[in-house]
Structure 1
Amino acid sequence: MTDIIMENLLSPVVLFFVLGIVAALFKSDLKIPHGLSEGLSIYLLIAIGLKGGIELSHYSLESVIGPILGAIFLGIIIPIITLFILKFINMDLKNSIGLAATYGSISIVTYGAAVSFLESNSISYEGFMNALVALMESPAILVSLLMLKVVENKDNISGNSTQRVGFISQPLQLIDKRVVKESIFGKSILLLMGSLLIGIILGESAVPMVKPLFIDLYNSVLILFLLNMGIITGQRLPEVKKHGVKLLLFGLTTPLLFGTLGVLVGNLVGLSLGGATLMGVLAGSASYIAAPAALKTSVPEANPSIYLGLALGVTFPFNLIIGIPMYYEIAKWF
């Protein structure tokens, strides 16, 4: 396992990520222009969606329904487990919801790095795994916000008996339309799902046109993106330290817990070694695109330096350097 970790550490994507962290910590003037950063994000979302859709076009519904249900299950159960864990470290409700949504959703860049890791080690995986990326983005966000509304309304009802009448007489609006719109039609999910559907519809006929840009150049673009993520991570690290050791341990241990759960679910639904590894990576990663976008409008009281700082400053580098090869070894053990 040490050899695999070292090989992952010495890969271009990880080394450029570390270079970005070093640049931020030493206050270098190195920065990726905002427009280019946005462009790189859009590129990765389209590339992963297209590849997933083209591969998914080769499979029947019967062969993918198990992994799809497994992915949705993980998207629902992980935020619930996260809230129980945070209750024991006395995290307040709003920030707990922020972390539940962030850790229940997934990191598309961590997934991309895991794909690169598998391909560099000649480990095959199911092509439809790219489709599961899109499926695991929204459920955790919706479940987390639903739990927030349930708890808030429960507290309001118990605190004011006159509200009980209104609660009974009027249907409870658990999640408003803005939340649903942010979770389903936000940039990341819209691009993923849209590219996925285009890939499914066109199938192999799309390959000649998309291969030169979205397949052949994928790993090279990922390097640029991770350089930028390293800079952002280095800037976020001081914010994480402000919130104590317990939160730091949460960011380091929960990826292993959820990643192991993801590998187990992947095995139960019949995925290959590579597929189960990717399911573990998805379950063990934390979102810093879709979840923060939804939280910004739906739970403005949640502190971004906690859920973004922990996801980017602790869990993302942990997964990139150690987590991915560990999930692979866990999958091999299972």
Structure 2
Amino acid sequence: MDFIADFFIRFLVQFQSPTLGFLIGGMLVAALGSKLKIPNAIYQFIVFMLLMKIGLEGGIEIREANLLEMALPAFLSILIGLLTVRIGITVFSILPGVDKEDGIATAGLFGAVSASTLAVAIVVLEEESIPFEAWAPALYPFMDIPALILAIVVANIHLKKQEKGEDTDVNVWNIIKESLRGSALSALLLGLALGLLTNSDSVLHSFYDPLFRGFLSILMLIMGMEAYDRIKELRSVAHWYAVYAALAPLMHGLIAFGLGYIAHLLVGFSAGGVVILAVIASSNSDISGPPTLRAGIPSANPSAYIGASTSVGTPIAIAVGIPLFIALAQIVF
């Protein structure tokens, strides 16, 4: 009962937080037919700033971290990315009225990681004074890249079998290169490299830190507006996508929480680190994933996988997943 009460208290508190408030505000503005528009260039700049901050901080911490302690969480991140996509593909393969490529793309997007959800989780943990390894956000690419690659490889194998009726090779290295060249992962990896190899502490604390929360609030506003717009698109495809989008984030997060707890027992992975691992597993890519999947699986319907992710998956991961995993951590640890 204490867990349920704690979860609902945190759930209600989340609705008062600026991050979720801006997300809901964006949805309301769009629902009222406002002509408010935030240029895409500003959106891309904000995403770059957030990921650079996360990358710089992670790189600085990795420079001083025990790499053996990080190795197991990094391996588990790869495993979670692959496992969640495989589960999603299996689920969609048995559901009626679901196109194969659409199901694979949706599974890939929900196996990949949302930079914005990660940023919200970091703010919430800091507000609640829950410590975590500064390198924990750097687990992002370890989960994100394998998930996207697996989805694209499986989809391409399926399509080539349909075309030629036989097994054909898929150039995995090209897929990896395209994923790494994506704007979100490029920014995060650049930040990691600069934090790891340069004395970037001063620029992090004087420039990126003070702007982080303000930029995050604008990103949430943009995402809220897009979430409302995507609801219309989601209505045009099978309702199974909405059901999956509501359940998958919590299922993925619980799998990651369990594996993260094993890392806690074996290498001392912190409670906050386990929460971050669960949150990035519950998130669904809103920045790097859509363009990567559009290029890698062009036959898939974006209304299905992007609509499910933006209109249902992301709000569930932020509003329900974050307070759930924090409450669970306070009971388990």
1:176-215 CA-partner distances (Å, limit 9, x unpaired): 665333212211111111110111112xx31112212211
2:64 matches 1:58: yes
Counterparts of residues 6-155 of structure 1 (less than 5 Å): 6-90=12-96, 91-155=98-162
| CA offsets 1:43-102 (integer angstroms, 9 cap, x no match) | 111111111111111112212111110111111111100001112223221101211210
Distance 1:130 1:302 in 2: 30
Q: How far does residue 150 in structure 1 lie from its aligned partner after superposition?
A: 3.2
Unaligned stretches of 5+ in structure 2? 1-6
Give the aligned partner of residue 186 of structure 2. Answer: 190
Asked if the contact 1:31/1:231 (under 8 Å) is kept, the reply is no
How does 1:262-273 map onto structure 2 within 5 Å? 262-270=256-264, 271-273=269-271
Q: Which residue of 1 aligns with 2:11?
A: 5
- Which residue does 1:216 correspond to in 2? 210
Could you tell which deviates more after superposition, 224-233 or 242-251? 242-251
Name the residue aligned to 1:311. 309
TM-score by length of 1: 0.91
Instruction: Name the SS for the 2:239 alignment partner.
Output: helix
How far the C-alpha of 1:17 sits from its partner, in A, is 1.1
CA, structure 1 residues 239+156, in 2 after alignment: closer, same or farther (shift >3 Å)?
A: closer
SS in 2 for 1:315: helix
Aligned partners of 1:246 and 1:34: how far apart in 2? 30
Contact 2:230-2:303 at 8 Å conserved across structures: yes
> Equivalents in 1 of 2:172, 2:78: separation in Å?
21
Paired AA for residue 109 in structure 1: S
How well do the aligned residues superpose, as a CA RMSD in angstroms?
1.7
CA distances 1:157-179 after superposition (whole Å, capped 9, x unpaired): 6x4xxx6xxx6xxxx43136653
CA contact (8 A) 2:115 2:286 kept: no
Displacement of 1:141? 0.8
Query: AA paired with 1:312?
Result: T
Q: Deviations over 1:251-300 (max 9, x none)?
A: 11111110100111111112221111111111111012212111111211
Matching residue's letter, 2:309: A
Cα displacement (A) at 1:244:
4.2
Letter in 1 for 2:216: L
The alignment-based identity, stated in percent, is 26
* Secondary structure of the corresponding residue to residue 19 of structure 1: helix
Amino acid corresponding to residue 149 of structure 1 in structure 2: N
Q: How far, CA to CA, are the matches of 1:291 and 1:198 in structure 2?
A: 24
The unaligned stretches of length 5 or more in structure 1 are none
Cα distance in structure 1, aligned partners of 2:230 and 2:293: 18
Structure 2 partner of 1:181:
177
One-letter amino acid of the structure 2 residue matched with residue 226 of structure 1: M
> Contact 2:79/2:143 (CA < 8 Å) preserved in 1?
no
SS of 1:31 mapped into structure 2: coil
- Number of corresponding residues: 321
Alpha-carbon contact 2:137-2:276 (below 8 Å) kept? no
